[in-house]
Chains A and B, each alone.
Chain A
Amino acid sequence: MALSTIGTNQIASEAVTVPKVADQVLSSRNLIINGAMQVAQRGTSFADLNGYGLDRFGVGSSDDGAITVTQDTTVPSGEGFKNSMKFDVTTADTSLGAAQFYQFFQKIEGQNVAHLMYGTSNAKTITLSFWCRSNKTGTYVTTFMNNAADRFNPNNFTISSANTWEKKTITVTGDQSGTWLTTNGIGMYVIWNLALGSDFDDGTNGTWGASDYGSGGNVNFLDSTDNEFYITGVQMEVGDTVTPFEHRSFSDELQRCMRYYEKSYPYSVAPGTAISYPGNLGITVRGMDEETSGQRYITNTMRVEKRADPANTFYDDAGNAGKVTTFNNAGTGTNNVGIALVVTQPSMIGCGPNNSAIWGFGFFYESDAEL
């Protein structure tokens, strides 16, 4: 439209609607980080994962089966996605126990959902949308939960057609009860349950209550090694209107992810990978002139300040966890050296080795402040 033709009729409130402009100008409306499954700092394949795999998405499970989680390139056509997160059953559990489950989730920091005003009379409606695909058709359940795990809202969704991408939309009225953190702790859990034992089905579908993850009638995704589940395009936004997925740049998404986890390895190198030449260590100091004191350590500013003090893993150049590489005056490295001193804050990381006289040392690190 030419500038000269823009008049009152074009900018009237009834003419400018969210669907018309959301994909162009309303940025940062997606409360989910890495919803397009672009960022995978820890690696791209995780066998029998119980923890974090792709950035910001965790897995929790208690079952007799096994699932491999991968960053995949199978995506819905024509939506602009490059990656999805895939769950592939490698060991089946055909008779899920009452207390068994398999979930994946994103824990949203309280500061990022403070504006939802949960736990007050002003609590806002939210809409979750995502693309999913599985050979295992049937009813699954997504759960919204607070930090104390005493407020739940389970919402069933159905995969209708096998091996077909389907977009799911779930709108939830704001919870006016309970305590919802607005700190750097867990503000809200968003959970997808792929298998849920009967101990967890005391909830009411689409309703806030003191329990539970589900309301019954959900599939057991673990029941066959043929089963696969893909998800991408996860978006949670304020209001009852689903808008087009907010495609953020890789760099933008990586920066957001690093508030919770970062590594000193190059992005494409999985932590713990052996590096052949010691000079390639992410952090190295030399010229310590046969230093033996307990104060021989180095610190480094992290790429992104963490939401809280992190837990760290240091690696020597052979990829040994909890170790560093030291050097003699000829520059020859010694691996598998233990750590005597650790200095860490949300914005800084450092350590020192515990062997005898050294001329230098170095290490890679992982820094984990995930919720």
Chain B
Amino acid sequence: MNEMNITAAKYLADNGENIAIEFIVDGKIMHVSVEATGNRHYAEIMRQVDAGELTIEDAD
């Protein structure tokens, strides 16, 4: 199936709580909720994190 080339990821926070992830896939900036368990982008980010292939940077 199709592969996603995710090259960077960073949390966005509101009042100190992570609410979303900003990530770059195939060169395009996208955003997904940290609760988006049924989303294929979120699933792929978490798969890559679990595999040690991607690190989500802390929020500013």
Question: Are B22 and A322 in contact, with the CB atoms below 8 A?
Answer: yes
Nearest neighbor of A185 in chain B, beta-carbon distance: B38
Q: Are A339 and B38 CB-contacts (below 8 A) given A51-B26, A60-B1, A313-B30?
A: no
Tell me which residues across on chain A come within 8 A of B12, comparing CB atoms. 339-342
With A59-B2, A60-B2, A309-B35 in contact, is A322–B40 under 8 Å at CB? no
With A60-B2, A322-B31 already in contact, the answer to whether A311 and B14 are too (CB < 8 A) is no
**A65 interface residue per 8 A CB criterion:** no
Interface set of A (CB-CB < 8 Å, partner B): 50-51, 58-62, 103, 105, 184-185, 294, 307-314, 321-323, 339-345, 351, 368-371
A-B contact pairs, 17 of them (CB 8 A): A50-B26, A58-B1, A59-B2, A184-B38, A308-B38, A309-B33, A309-B39, A310-B39, A311-B39, A312-B31, A321-B29, A322-B29, A322-B31, A339-B31, A343-B19, A344-B33, A351-B31
Asked if residues A311 and B31 are in contact (CB atoms below 8 Å), the reply is: yes
Would A370 and B40 count as touching, CB distance under 8 A?
yes
Contact B1 A103 (CB under 8 A): yes
A105–B1 alpha-carbon span in the complex (Å): 9
Choose among A59, A294, A311, A370 the residue with the greatest number of B CB atoms under 10 Å from its CB. A311
* Secondary structure of the A contact surface, majority rule: strand
Residues of chain B within 8 A (CB-CB) of A61 are: 2
Complex alpha-carbon distance, A325 and B14, angstroms:
21
Contact yes or no, A341 B14, CB < 8 A: yes
Contact A309 B3 (CB under 8 A): no
Q: Is the CB of A311 within 8 A of B38?
A: no
1/0 per residue, CB under 8 A from A, across B19-47: the answer is: 11010101011111101111111100000
Task: Please name all residues of chain B whose beta carbon is closer than 8 Å to the beta carbon of A342 when the two chains form the complex.
Answer: 12, 19-20, 22, 31, 33
CA distance A312 to B25 in the complex (A): 12
Contacts of A322 on B, CB cut-off 8 Å?
22, 24, 28-31
Total cross-chain contacts (CB, 8 A): 90
Inter-chain CA distance A344–B19, complex, in Å, is 9
Quote the shortest CB–CB distance from B60 to chain A (angstroms).
8
Task: Give CA–CA (A339, B30) in the complex, Å.
Answer: 10
Flag if A60 contacts B38 (CB, 8 Å).
no
A81 to B19, CA, bound (A): 45
Cα distance A1–B2 when bound, in Å?
52
Q: Choose from A308, A313, A341 the contact partner of B36 (Cβ within 8 Å).
A: A308
Indicate which residue in A51, A312, A323 contacts B32 across the interface (CB closer than 8 Å). A312
One of B2, B19, B35, B36 near A311 (C-beta < 8 A) = B36
Q: Which residues in B have their C-beta under 8 angstroms from that of A369?
A: 38-39
> Measured between C-beta atoms, what is the minimum distance from B36 to chain A in Å?
3
- Across the interface, do B1 and A309 meet the contact criterion of CB distance under 8 Å? no
Q: How far is the CA of A51 from the CA of B25 in the complex (A)?
A: 11
Q: Which residue of A lies closest to B5 (CB)?
A: A50
Q: Give the residue name and chain of the B residue nearest to A345 (CB).
A: B33
Q: A294 touching B29 by the CB < 8 A rule?
A: no
The answer to whether A339 touches B36, judged by C-beta atoms less than 8 angstroms apart, is: no
A50 & B39 in contact (Cβ 8 Å cutoff): no
Q: How far is the CB of B4 from chain A (nearest CB, A)?
A: 8
User: Chain B's nearest CB lies how many Å from the CB of A143?
Assistant: 11
In the complex, are the beta carbons of A311 and B42 less than 8 A apart? Answer: yes
Per the bound structure, the CA–CA distance linking A103 and B36 in Å amounts to 27
B31 to chain A, nearest CB (A): 4
A50 to chain B: which residues have CB within 8 Å?
A: 2-3, 26
Question: B7 to chain A: closest CB distance in Å?
Answer: 13
Q: How far is the CA of A321 from the CA of B31 in the complex (A)?
A: 10
Residues in chain B near residue A345, CB distance under 8 A: 33
Q: Which residue of chain A lies nearest to B19 when distances are taken between CB atoms in the complex?
A: A342
Tell me if B19 and A341 are in contact (CB < 8 A): yes
Given A60-B3, A308-B39, A344 and B14 touching (CB < 8 A)?
no
Determine if A311 and B30 form an interchain contact, defined as CB atoms under 8 angstroms apart: yes
Given A321-B28, A322-B22, A344-B31, 5 further pairs, Cβ under 8 A: A50-B2, A60-B2, A309-B33, A309-B39, A314-B31
